[in-house]
Chains A and B, each alone.
Chain A
């Protein structure tokens, strides 16, 4: 099967899932206790005003018609208006999305690069102190509550040592022109090295706390996969013909040890998306995770619906991309 045919097949299979996700999101948010009209107006208005608003929002329609209206607008990227801010929900999501993307992507990069490097080092120096401390780290890392780790980092590096800022994406008074919304990129495009350093300093603790669990898992998997590969015959051959050890490890062995590592990295995306909700709350990081938690707490239904549907949609899309990468790396998958 050609890659594009596989892609089309995956895409078609996604349609019923997406429909189901939208129904669940719609129904769940509808069942959240509390009356949206009360929240918008308070209880000091006349019945006539209430009814007028109810009609304007379509809340007096039967449920399936409400769903259909919501879903067809959602497909056009229209999730309605936020009850709290009176802004379109999509706009609220899009202004916060770059913050979340920046945080998650940097965390993923930390997890992948350091994870593979540490994992390879542990395998190379098997049963030494380096190996044992890396195993210890990965053991602790998978069990640590990242929101607690984040707060401990804040105490250590921001409160006690004063090296890094406590929260947010930029210091007061720093402004970066918006091209992509990713401050690391925007500051570089604008040539503002000072702002770039400032945003790195803000990003460091949130990204490291978010990366920890995934980093630990990547270390663990890389190590065991490398140990398997390093005992293969062709590695002995490479060494026997006098190849440099570094080259043996990083070119011959690592390439063949990567498949289980790629699988684990693919599985980390869900973890990172969930973890971002927690990390953003700890560091007051203005992303969509914090938007969601705030919206749940103030019962801003359109925002809750919008964010959950948007994130689930993104999650499905990312999974398709990951599957495509697998299918590309391992052609057997396409023929299943």
Chain B
């Protein structure tokens, strides 16, 4: 196991871009944790006497990145926003992993009517363009970060369930599963002990590639003002509040949260790509 990890790490380290991306990703994770403590101002505090203040480029040392249309400190909002975006991203991964694995395992292992019903339902969900599905579900569930997480996870659950089901179909025909059943093992034991560990690799690869995407969808929902409260310091919601002031030349309200979204999505995507490449090359070697 340790040897395998070393192999993956060695291949990963050869990809310079992926290494840089990894460090940016780690930096963002650190910021997500310590951000609220180092933020100089309350991210939702409205200060109408300090609206549209330019930041350091205008010699402002109090609000480094300026203030928005309600006088809120953009730097503090961005710091708080890091935690929100990453929290949503990880929660989406967790929800997708649990639900996708469960549905895929049940559908693939038991087959029959259960399988047919589940797969039909998945076809139906996949018939929607993803953003449209998330949008309608977020609208139905109402406003709240937890609800947004669920709405975004529903984009990915069907695809993951399908991937898992596919692997389960191969694994369950393996001799070791048959041997285990011959020795009197029950279904639950076989699923958890034999099937699950052998379908995990594609699942992990899928999940690492999903994080950047999930952060992007979170920002999209925030920007459209559906499912995410427009006053929260979520990056997409910040873009939305800056949208109408762009033509007045107040570019900083929009520029900085956008850079954060871009940076987060880019670094998690490159990290995922690098990891997939490394895992693939390890699989080829075996």
List 19 A–B pairs whose Cβ atoms lie within 8 Å, in order of A's numbering. Answer: A28-B140, A140-B266, A145-B216, A145-B239, A151-B239, A151-B242, A155-B251, A159-B246, A270-B129, A270-B130, A274-B131, A278-B223, A296-B139, A297-B225, A311-B129, A312-B129, A315-B127, A315-B128, A315-B129
B179 close to chain A: CB less than 8 A: no
Q: Does chain A have a CB within 8 A of B124?
A: yes
Q: Are B220 and A145 in contact (CB under 8 A)?
A: yes
Query: Is A58's CB within 8 Å of the partner chain B?
Result: no
Which of the residues B17, B120, B129, B255 comes within 8 Å of A152, measured between beta carbons? Answer: B255
How many residues in A have their beta carbons less than 8 Å from beta carbons of B?
46
Contact A155 B246 (CB under 8 A): yes
Q: Chain A interface (Cβ within 8 Å of chain B)?
A: 16-18, 20-21, 24-25, 28-29, 31-33, 139-140, 142-145, 147-148, 151-152, 154-155, 158-159, 166, 270-271, 273-275, 277-278, 281-282, 292-293, 296-297, 304, 308, 311-312, 315-316
- Which residues of B are found within 8 Å of A151, using beta-carbon distances? 239, 242-243, 246, 254, 258
With an 8 A cutoff between CB atoms, is B196 at the interface?
no
B137 CB within 8 Å of chain A? yes
In the complex, what residues of A have CB within 8 A of residue B251's CB? 155, 159
Shortest CB distance A28–B (Å): 5
B residues in contact with A275, CB < 8 Å = 131
Question: Which residue in chain B gives the minimum CB-CB distance to A313?
Answer: B127
Residues from 115 to 151 in B contacting A, C-beta threshold 8 Å: 120-121, 123-125, 127-132, 135-137, 139-140, 142
Chain A residues whose C-beta falls within 8 Å of the C-beta of B257 in the assembled complex:
148
A145 adjacent to B127 (CB under 8 Å):
no
Residue of B135, B139, B239, B262 ringed by the most chain A CB atoms within 10 A: B139
Residues in A with CB closer than 8 Å to B242 are 151
A145 adjacent to B226 (CB under 8 Å): no
Q: A316 to chain B: which residues have CB within 8 Å?
A: 127
Contact A278 B266, beta carbon cutoff 8 Å: no
Tell me which of B125, B223, B249, B257 has the highest count of chain A C-beta atoms within 10 A of its own C-beta: B223
By size class, the interface of chain B is 35 or more
**From A144, which residue of chain B is reached at the shortest CB distance?**
B262
Inter-chain CA distance A99–B101, complex, in Å, is: 41
Given contacts A145-B220, A278-B224, contact A308 B136 (CB under 8 A): yes
A297 touching B226 in the complex, CB below 8 Å, given contacts A159-B249, A292-B135: yes
Pick from A21, A143, A154: contact of B128, CB under 8 Å: A21
B199 within 8 Å of A (CB atoms): no
Q: Check B1 for interface membership: any CB of A closer than 8 A.
A: no
* The residue from B243, B255, B269 contacting A143, defined by CB atoms under 8 A apart: B269
* Contact assessment for A29 and B136 in the assembled complex, using a CB-CB cutoff below 8 Å: yes
- CB neighbours of B132 from chain A (8 A): 273-274, 277, 292, 308, 311-312
Closest to A140 in B: B266
Q: By the criterion CB–CB under 8 Å, are B269 and A142 in contact? A: yes
On chain B, the residues within 8 Å of A296 by CB distance are 135-136, 139, 226
- Having A21-B127, A28-B136, A143-B269, one finds 4 other A-B pairs with CB under 8 Å, namely A144-B265, A145-B239, A273-B132, A297-B225
Q: Which residue of A lies closest to B155 (CB)?
A: A274
Give the docked Cα–Cα distance between A275 and B132 (Å).
10
Chain B residues within 8 Å of A143, by CB: 212, 216, 262, 265-266, 269
- Whether the Cβ atoms of B127 and A273 lie closer than 8 Å is no
Nearest-neighbor residue (CB-CB) of A147 within chain B? B223
Q: Which residues of A contact B247 (CB under 8 A)?
A: 154, 158-159, 166
Given A16-B120, A32-B140, A296-B135, the answer on whether A312 and B224 have CB atoms closer than 8 Å is: no
Residues of B within 8 A of A308 (CB): 128, 132, 136
In the bound complex, residues from chain A placing their C-beta under 8 Å from that of B220 are: 145, 147, 278
CB distance from A111 to the nearest CB of B (A): 16
Q: Which residues of B contact A17 (CB under 8 A)?
A: 120, 123-124, 127
Query: Nearest chain-A residue to B269 (Cβ)?
Result: A143
Complex Cα distance, B32 from A9, in Å, reads 51
Chain B residues 210-259 with CB under 8 Å of chain A are 212, 216, 219-220, 223-226, 236, 239, 242-243, 246-247, 249, 251, 254-255, 257-258
Q: How far is the CA of A312 from the CA of B247 in the complex (A)?
A: 34
CA distance A158 to B251 in the complex (A): 12
Give every chain A residue within 8 A of B137 (Cβ-Cβ): 28
Residue of A with least CB distance to B258: A148
Q: Is the CB of A21 within 8 A of B124?
A: yes
Are A148's CB and B226's CB within 8 A? no
Contact residues in A for B92 (Cβ distance below 8 Å)? none
By beta carbon, the residue of chain B nearest A154 is: B246
Contacts of A33 in B (CB 8 A): 142
* Nearest-CB residue, chain B, relative to A282: B243
